[in-house]
Structure 1
Amino acid sequence: MPAGNSQVSWQGRSYYFKDGYWYRPMGARYMLIVPPYGVSIPYMPTYAQQVWIGAVPYFFAAGNYYIWQPDSQTYQAVSPPQGESTTLAESSYDVVAYPESGQAPEQQDRDRYECHRWAVGESDFDPAAASNAPPPDVAGKYKQAIGACLAGRGYSIN
């Protein structure tokens, strides 16, 4: 789990938030997750985008949607607007990877994390630490690198 995260308690459980990414404890490790819908945070990552879907302004960061709550001055995680996908790979920096060799969920998490770290080194870009959107060629290089790494570990890449 990245350093400098914020702990968020919601409905009796602890979650951790850092730069748009959410984690929860899973034994001795932490697993990257979609935030539970309804949980609120006081700020959005600087790279978050405001998108209008119909007449509703959403904020989109790391594949997750939020709505500003003026009463509490927080951003509330919400389900994707109707017709939108719910996968973590919605971000423009990620890839959809399907395990082809029966990798267990723990192995998938480890592979994705290790490939992310490798792609950061290859592209000199870390979407989890980005304060601004990178030029398209940099984002593309990161996405190509993480896809190649995951393909090399036995995943089908879309």
Structure 2
Amino acid sequence: MRCRSTLLCAVLGALALAHAPAHADRRHGDHRRGGDPWRFDPRYSHNHYYPSVGYVAYGLPGGSLSIAFGTGHLFFNSGVWFRPYADRYVVIAPPVGVLVPVLPPDCVTVWVGNTMYYYLNGAYYLPAPGRGFAVVAPPPSVETAQANVPAPIKPPPTPVIYPRNGQSPAQTEGDRQECNRWAATQQAALLDADVFQRAVAACMDGRGYTVR
């Protein structure tokens, strides 16, 4: 079962976290980098590339979500977690307990006993009703878990944002991220991707943008 269930997981089309169909050559978090930090994740036939833990990025990919955790913030984008590192960002393994409002559509559902987990880039998630999804410790007997691997599906198109008031690209990106964060606070948006996208569009419209 693809991680697109209306009741369990919302597609992050409005966040531009999935710009192309999921396939073995997909590389998440295409930010500036030195050398080749990519790691291939074949587990459960997930077959995606991700930047390795410890890689330091000069900036965050567009559409990254700011996630409050402890006394600070982490950042999430397409299954990749970052924490601030001086004036840069380092890729980390997500801490157990951190919450993310929505998961991208290319996560894999994994059954361990009678419990269905969501797997993405080495991390396991369980639904946290009303709050999104929580990172949990790898379940016991995970080596014998049964994965339900989706066939590639073309994600919804990335919305086009037009600045009606001549806003600069930097301001547009800042406003978009603010609207993403606001939309993620709406409970209905956590359960339905269409609601999430409409919330972002309404927020951007109020800031002087047309979203198509």
Q: Of residues 109, 123, 132 in structure 2, which corresponds to 1:74?
A: 132
* Equivalence for 2:3: none
* Equivalence for 1:8: 67
User: Unpaired runs of 5+ in structure 2?
Assistant: 1-59, 144-151, 155-212
Query: What is the CA distance between 1:24 and its match in structure 2?
Result: 0.3
Query: What is the CA distance between 1:52 and its match in structure 2?
Result: 0.7
Query: What is the CA distance between 1:80 and its match in structure 2?
Result: 1.0
Q: Root-mean-square deviation (CA), in Å?
A: 2.1
- Alpha-carbon distance in structure 1 between the residues aligned to 2:132 and 2:63: 19
Query: What is the CA distance between 1:65 and its match in structure 2?
Result: 0.5
Query: What is the CA distance between 1:39 and its match in structure 2?
Result: 1.0
User: Unpaired runs of 5+ in structure 1?
Assistant: 86-131, 135-158
- Alpha-carbon distance in structure 2 between the residues aligned to 1:12 and 1:73: 19
Tell me the secondary structure at the aligned position of residue 8 of structure 1: strand
Q: Of residues 105, 125, 132 in structure 2, which corresponds to 1:46?
A: 105
TM-score by length of 2: 0.38
Identity percentage of aligned residues: 31
Query: What is the CA distance between 1:20 and its match in structure 2?
Result: 0.9
- Alpha-carbon distance in structure 1 between the residues aligned to 2:76 and 2:67: 7
- Alpha-carbon distance in structure 2 between the residues aligned to 1:42 and 1:25: 20
Distance 1:15 1:73, change over 3 A: closer
Q: Which protein has the larger Cα radius of gyration, Structure 1 or Structure 2? A: 2
Moved over 4 A (4+): none
TM-score by length of 1: 0.50
User: Are the counterparts in 1 of residues 112 and 141 from structure 2 also a CA contact under 8 Å?
Assistant: no
Query: What is the CA distance between 1:84 and its match in structure 2?
Result: 4.9
- Alpha-carbon distance in structure 2 between the residues aligned to 1:26 and 1:76: 23
Tell me the secondary structure at the aligned position of residue 95 of structure 2: coil
Q: For 1:7-156, list aligned pairs within 5 A.
A: 7-70=66-129, 72-84=130-142, 132=152
**Relative contact order (alpha carbons < 8 A, sep ≥ 6): 1 or 2 greater?**
2
Structure having the higher helix fraction is: 1
What are the superposed Cα offsets for residues 65-108 of structure 1, whole Å, 9 maximum, x if unpaired?
000122x24100111112559xxxxxxxxxxxxxxxxxxxxxxx
Query: What is the CA distance between 1:133 and its match in structure 2?
Result: 7.4
Give the paired residue count.
87
